[in-house]
């Protein structure tokens, strides 16, 4: 009898531990950002990060207007505060704005209160343009840990990374940008471009990217529009050779999926380096 009693206790403890582990894993998953949306519709979100400069963005906006295309712009707080006319031009074109934070630093390297201050400072500036809360936050350099995701959510933001990196920040050549985006396209993907001045080829590649994707039956929308088309997915497909939301779900490429956290093989360099005189922190 005593042996049966001990076995029962061990079983209960094991079951309790398994349930606790399962809950912990589920909780950990909520502390991951979003990489794409689960949908089989041939729709993708077109997004741009902007942290410095004033030359590339007007070119991008002119292309979008000419193509009758809208996009989501992740704007840094200091840049938005010092370029009100450009922020208003983004909104006037029917585009969506989102937060790219305040100081352009890797948030996984700073204290939790500094994460909150970074997101909060940018929020104050950006709300001045919209008059309402913003929905999406993309951390500088795409760098994050669980604290970043949780703090952002506590401030009303959903943390969104990307599933397709145009790598325009590397200035790899126009044909390279075009082929990379079109080759990696899949339904529900979130595409990363930049409209900062250190990117020299974005405006040249963008018209062909738009036309080629349309020719393949894709429609490009804002992140907010894509968000309404299906569940937000938190598994990182980048570098895995996998195309979610497709029948096969696999393409040729790297065989392993990046580990969760920071942003796999793209962190922390997925953003163009600022010029030496660029301003990243609030001046107030």
CA 220 to chain centre: 16
| pLDDT surpasses 80 at 264 | no
In this prediction the pTM is 0.83
pLDDT of 27: 43
Q: Which residues pair with 43 in a beta bridge?
A: 219
Per the structure block, which two tokens stand in for 154? 């506590």
CA distance 18 to 157: 32
28-266 to CATH, choices 3.20.20.370, 3.40.50.300, 2.40.110.10, 3.20.20.70: 3.20.20.370
Cα 233 from Cα 188, distance rounded (Å): 10
Respond yes or no: is residue 49 known to be catalytic. Answer: yes
User: Residue 22 to residues 18, 50, 57, 166: CA-CA distances in angstroms?
Assistant: 6, 39, 46, 36
- In the chain, pLDDT over 90 holds for what percent of residues? 75
Respond yes or no on whether the N-terminal peptide bond of residue 50 is cis (omega within 30° of 0): no
Domain assignments of the chain as residue spans, ordered by start: 28-266
pLDDT of 271 reads 58
Is 194 a catalytic site residue?
yes
CB distance 47 to 162 below 8 Å: yes
User: Using CA atoms, how far apart are residues 163 and 29, in angstroms rounded to an integer?
Assistant: 17
* pLDDT tens, residue by residue, 44-82: 999 999 999 999 999 999 999 999 999 999 999 999 999
Nearest to 86 by CA among 59, 67, 63, 104: 59
pLDDT above 70 covers a percentage of the chain that reads 77
Q: What is the pLDDT of residues 8-40, one digit of tens each?
A: 433 434 334 443 333 333 445 679 999 999 999
Give the whole-angstrom CA distance, residue 112 versus residue 151: 8
Catalytic annotation, pick one of 49, 168, 197, 203: 49
Residue 232, helix vs strand vs coil: strand
Instruction: Give dist(CA 133, CA 147) in Å, integer.
Output: 21
Q: What is the DSSP string of 105-135?
A: S-GGGS-HHHHHHHHHHHHHHHHHHHSS---
Q: What is the pLDDT of residues 236-263, one digit of tens each?
A: 999 999 999 999 774 433 333 333 334 4
Q: What is the tally of helices (H) and strands (E) in the chain?
A: 9, 10
- Determine which one of 100, 194, 197, 236 is catalytic: 194
């Amino acid at each position: 009898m005593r042996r049966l009693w001990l076995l029962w206790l061990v079983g209960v403890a094991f079951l309790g531990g398994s349930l606790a582990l399962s809950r912990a894993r589920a909780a950990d998953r909520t502390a991951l950002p979003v990489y794409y949306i689960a949908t089989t519709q041939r729709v993708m979100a077109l997004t741009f990060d902007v942290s410095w400069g004033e030359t590339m963005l007007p070119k991008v906006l002119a292309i979008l207007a000419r193509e009758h295309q809208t996009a989501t712009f992740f704007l840094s707080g200091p840049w938005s505060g010092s370029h009100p006319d450009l922020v208003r031009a983004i909104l006037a074109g029917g585009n969506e704005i989102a937060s790219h934070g305040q100081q352009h630093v890797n948030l996984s390297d700073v204290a939790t209160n500094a994460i909150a201050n970074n997101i909060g400072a940018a929020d104050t500036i950006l709300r001045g343009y919209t008059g309402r809360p913003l929905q999406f936050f993309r951390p500088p350099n795409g760098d994050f840990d669980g604290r970043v995701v949780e703090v952002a959510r506590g401030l009303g933001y959903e943390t969104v990374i990307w599933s397709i990196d145009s790598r325009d920040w590397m200035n790899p050549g126009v044909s390279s940008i075009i082929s990379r985006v079109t080759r990696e396209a899949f339904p529900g993907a979130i595409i990363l471009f930049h409209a900062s001045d250190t990117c020299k080829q974005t405006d040249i590649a963008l018209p062909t990217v738009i036309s080629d994707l349309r020719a393949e039956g894709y429609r490009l929308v804002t992140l907010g529009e894509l968000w309404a088309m299906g569940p937000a997915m938190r598994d990182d497909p980048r570098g895995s050779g996998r195309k979610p939301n497709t029948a096969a779900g696999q393409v040729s490429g790297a065989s392993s999926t990046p580990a969760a956290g920071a942003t796999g093989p793209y962190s922390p360099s997925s953003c163009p380096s600022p010029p030496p005189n660029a301003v990243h922190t609030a001046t107030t």
